[in-house]
Each structure stands twice: as structure tokens, then as C-alpha cells.
Amino acid sequence: MAFKRMFCLLTGALMLFTSSAAWSAEIHGRSSTQFIWFNDIYTGNKQAEFGEYLSLSVTKLDKDNKLTVQGYGRITQDVRNGQGMNGRLYYLYGDYSNLFDKLDLRLGRQFVNYAAGSALIDGGKIELKNVGHLAFSVMGGRNVYFSLDGEATNDRDFAWGVATYLYGYRNTDAELSYFMKLDNDGVARDQLGATFKHHLFNSLKVYGNTRFDMASETFSEVLAGVKYFPNVDLVLTGEWYQSYPTFDSTSIYSVFAVSRYQEGVFRADYTINDKINVNAGYSRQIYEDGDSDVFKIGCRIRPIENLSLNLSYDYQDGYGGNLNGAIAEAFYDITKQIEVAAGIHYDVYERDRATGEETARKYWMGGKYKINNKMSASVRVEDNVNAHYEEDWAGRVAFNYDF
């Protein structure tokens, strides 16, 4: 509770400072007012709600433009089932850069992502740079997470971490980091992480990242990949990925048996000309109980200036059943201000020979209208038909204002 009060005071102070410096500050952002309807997957009830989504950026708060304020949140009001108003603050922080030309400071609610772990925190982050070819970062604060009805953080939820990374190298990025999360029962996460990326010969990029869970003494994630650009029109990608699910050590799920998953991927993307892009890929999915082969092909075609078509097909065979899936989407600009679109997603799958083949289909249509340089409106309606629903309508109407 004390930290909540501190955060509210911080928020108020930032807003007060912004107001007092309004003569020089610039405020930009987007207001999106939306009406959404859908079927609640938990209750099966039809749901309808109004929502207001607001993002903002405040700059030029000081002479050298080192201080900025960033924020994003939403408020929704249920209008059908009496669930009332629900609000979420996703981030709101003050960012001061290049203090003494060496420090970047960030204070408030923010998302922090290290190779070792990530968290949404009410707290701070400090980065030390320009002290050589290594930079350093430390973060910590109240660990924030949300439930269906709002924020569900407990008083003892806390996350902190440290990282060091290469600084000043044009073609190479690398990071080594540590992340810990605590809750009411003690240490929930204790992890090491590393990430690496390097460009070679202006045509090759090699990259990888890994995460090691200290509690289970296992690598929970490993990724190694290479991208080759023989020319500006062709990109070849090869990746190998391994995942071993881990849970918070304070969770009952941490005692459950889990399976290791591995995947090898090859993909090619080719731009034939300014009207046709094509792609194709193959992945080998490796489970402890069997393997699966997945093939994907797709293209983006612009047969005429105002029309764009997205077409894709994927086929899966092996462990987990058989799947044939296709997507067809069309986007058409009636004028510079009006765009209409529609699409079909069609899947045929067989998970169990006892049930035979089943189908899942999604039909959607929508449109956008640019009123002027600052205002726009959009609408999207879709229907899902599958083994569970004969019809499952959902939609969204939005009015956006950029300031």
C-alpha cells in the first residue's frame, strides 16, 4: 500500500510538472474510443462494452529535451451484464536521458525486458553508459499483473534485475542479465539470460538468445538463428528453438511433469517486383512423444494500384493430428480516405481419428475512414464457426483522435 501511495504521488507530481511547464511542453498521443461486442469465453454470455484507450507522450519539458513523460491506459464500461467499470494503467513513467552524459533514469510504471526475464513494474530503471564498451542496467519495483477484473498484484510482489550489454559496436549487440521475481511465498523466479546479434559482410545476420532457470537447473528457452540477404529482394532464414516450460517455483504447477519442445525452421521471403511478394517455409516440430512437419506458403499481391491480396496456406502432418489451413484477405482503397477489407480463414483438422475431420472458419469484414489528418474511424465484424460454436459474432467500432 505504501508503494501504491508513492506511485500515486509520483503520477501527480509528473502531471503537475507537465501543467506548470505547459508553456514549452509538447503533448502528443492518441485517444481511441471504442465499442466492442463479443461472447465471453468463460461464461458464454454475450458481452458489450465501451472503452477509452489513451496514449500520450510529453516532451520538451526542459531546455535540452532530456525529460519526457510516457503513458498508456484504458477504461472500459460494461453495458450488458452489469460488471461495471474497469480500468488498467499499462505504463506511466518519467524518462530522463543523458544525465552527466552517462545516465538514463526512468521512474514510474514501465515494462522492462531483459534476456533473463521481463516484468511490468512500479519502480525504477537506471542505465549507465559511455564508460567504455560495456553499459550497465539495474531495475526494480513492485511487480504488476492483471486479473480479469483489474489489477491483482499483492503487497509482496516484487521484481528486480541487472544487465550488462555491449555499447558502441555498430554490428554487434550482446547482453548478459539476471532476473528475480518474488511473491508472498518467497522467490518465484530466479533466472539468467543472454542474447547476441551480429551482422557480417552486409548480407548475413547471426543471432541467438537463451534463458536458464536456476530453480529447476534447466535452460527454459534457447534460440539460434541466421538470416542471409543475398540481395535486397531475397531473405533466407534458418532457426532452431528449444523450450522447456517452467513455472514460478512458488506455484503448485512447478511440481507437474512437462515436456521439452524443439523446432527447426527454414523460411524464404522473396520480392518479385513491387506488386508481388512470396514466402515459403518448413518447420520440424519435435515433441517427446512424436514429431510433426509443417509446410507454409504465402503471397501478397497487388494486381491493381488500390487492391492488395494476402493469400496463405499451411499443412501440418504428424504428432497432434493433421491440419490444412488457408487464409484469403483483401484490402481495397476506394479513395485516399476510405479503405474496405474482408477475409476468410478456413481450417480442416483431425486431432483424433475417433472424431474424424472437423472444420473451423472465420469470416470478417471491416473498413477505415480517414476523416482528416487527426481523426479516423474504423469498424470490424467477424463470425467464428467451429466445433464449439455454430456462430460466434464479435466486432469493434473505433473513433481515433491523434493530438
**Local confidence band at 84 (pLDDT 50, 70, 90 cut-offs):** confident
Q: For 351-378, write each residue's pLDDT tens digit.
A: 766 667 889 999 999 999 999 999 999 9
**Local confidence band at 333 (pLDDT 50, 70, 90 cut-offs):** very high
d(CA 253, CA 242): 20
Give the pLDDT of residue 306. 95
Per-residue pLDDT for 253 more than 90?
no
Of residues 118 and 9, more confidently modeled:
118
Flag whether 380 is in a domain.
yes
Flag whether 98 is in a domain.
no
Per-residue pLDDT for 212 more than 70?
yes
Give the pLDDT of residue 8. 54
d(CA 235, CA 229): 5
- Whether the Cβ atoms of residue 318 and residue 291 lie closer than 8 Å to each other: yes
Flag whether 67 is in a domain.
no
What CATH number corresponds to the domain at position 381?
A: 2.40.160.40
Domain that holds residue 393: 272-279+291-403
Lowest-confidence range among 67-76, 131-140, 382-391? 382-391
**Local confidence band at 49 (pLDDT 50, 70, 90 cut-offs):** very high
Give the pLDDT of residue 189. 95
- Whether the Cβ atoms of residue 382 and residue 360 lie closer than 8 Å to each other: no
Give the pLDDT of residue 15. 52
Q: How many CB atoms lie within 10 A of CB 201?
A: 8
Give the pLDDT of residue 22. 47
Give the pLDDT of residue 304. 94
What average pLDDT does the structure give for the chain? Answer: 91
Mean pLDDT along residues 370-398: 93
Flag whether 41 is in a domain.
no
Number of domains forming the structure of the chain? 1
Q: For 260-285, write each residue's pLDDT tens digit.
A: 999 999 999 999 999 999 999 999 99
CA distances from 64 to 15, 20, 97, 99, 189 (A): 19, 17, 10, 11, 40
Flag whether 159 is in a domain.
no
Mean pLDDT along residues 203-211: 97
Give the pLDDT of residue 1. 43
Flag whether 213 is in a domain.
no
Flag whether 304 is in a domain.
yes
Q: For 281-321, write each residue's pLDDT tens digit.
A: 999 999 998 999 999 999 999 999 999 999 999 999 999 88
The 3-state secondary structure of 14-57, one letter per residue? HHHHHHHCCCCCEEEEEEEEEEEEEECCCCCCEEEEEEEEEEEE
By percentage, how much of the chain surpasses pLDDT 90?
Answer: 76
Flag whether 299 is in a domain.
yes
pTM of the entire structure?
0.86
Q: How many CB atoms lie within 10 A of CB 292?
A: 18
What DSSP state is assigned to residue 253? G
